[in-house]
Amino acid sequence: MKKQINLFLQYLRHEKNASPHTISNYRRDLAQFELFCHHQQTSWSKIDPTFLRSYLASLYVQGLKRTSVARKLATLRSFFRYCQRQGFIKNNPAEVLASPRLEKNVPSFLTEEEINRFLDRPSGDRPLDRRDDAILELLYATGVRVSELVGINLEDLNLNHRFLRIRGKGRKERIVPFGSKAEEKLKQYLKSRWQINKGQVEAEPLFVNYRGRRLTARSVERIVDKALKQAAIRRKISPHSLRHSFASHLLSRGADLRIIQELLGHASLATTQKYTHLDLKKLLEVYAKSHPRS
């Protein structure tokens, strides 16, 4: 099975243009399934829907949530679909399995008052403090995903016109504006970026860690947690919550839902609706009018 998994991951990388984060998730899910097959002494030819159900049941026994089990089942569906197309197997054993019914959770987000307290909290003046301030301001100013934020390069930043080039899911590019507050924090950070790690920093990434290397998504989570404590906000808020806050506040101030869709990089307004592109000038006008910190 290792051969088929490696070919599938290459297919995702080279033909589907999947992000490194997505490929990493697929690799981890398939490695876990392969290990289960090994422990059960099950050969490739004996994998059927009944065997897959026993695998999913083992995940529930391990305490995994329905969302995690659903993702792993989706991974298996994609993998076996690929194997079927390549002629490795005759039928897709995962196709007949129903996905777990998921609970619909209301996304967590901060109120405008909380956002201002969060972003205007007292912070230090060291280079890494300035970096953290710029990151938090940019997350709320743009609504980008954490994976997109850490992937931003210096060349993607246009300070003069206040916009970023973002590479989203499937490496699709979009232009995202940001406001004056984010511009101010970015300028302060960029002035001191060269001081990090005594100037030994990677040339490409916009945000680097204390070693001068590209920042990770996990590091951004720690930055958000630290800022929440500094702002005395005791609710559990993730970096993704800032994305929800961004969208909620724009919507409450009258921004068109299609504009928000464009800014967030969503493929559609809903599963039954077509994606509507809007020109950059219109997008920038609505953003400047609607964003609380524009």
Q: Known catalytic residues?
A: 145, 169, 240, 243, 266, 275
Q: Tell me how long the chain is.
A: 294
CB burial string 264-287: b at 16+ within 10 A, e below: bbeeeeeeeeeeeeeeeeebbebb
Task: Please state, in angstroms and rounded to a whole number, the distance separating the CA atoms of residues 292 and 287.
Answer: 9
Q: Is 155 left (phi over 0), alpha (psi -120 to 50) or beta?
A: alpha
Amino acid sitting at position 77 = R
| CA-based max dimension of the chain | 62
Task: Please state, in angstroms and rounded to a whole number, the distance separating the CA atoms of residues 136 and 238.
Answer: 11
Q: Cβ–Cβ contacts within 10 Å for residue 131, how many?
A: 25
Question: In 3-state terms, what secondary structure has residue 28?
Answer: helix
The residue ranges of DSSP E strands in the chain, in sequence order, are 157-158, 163-167, 173-177
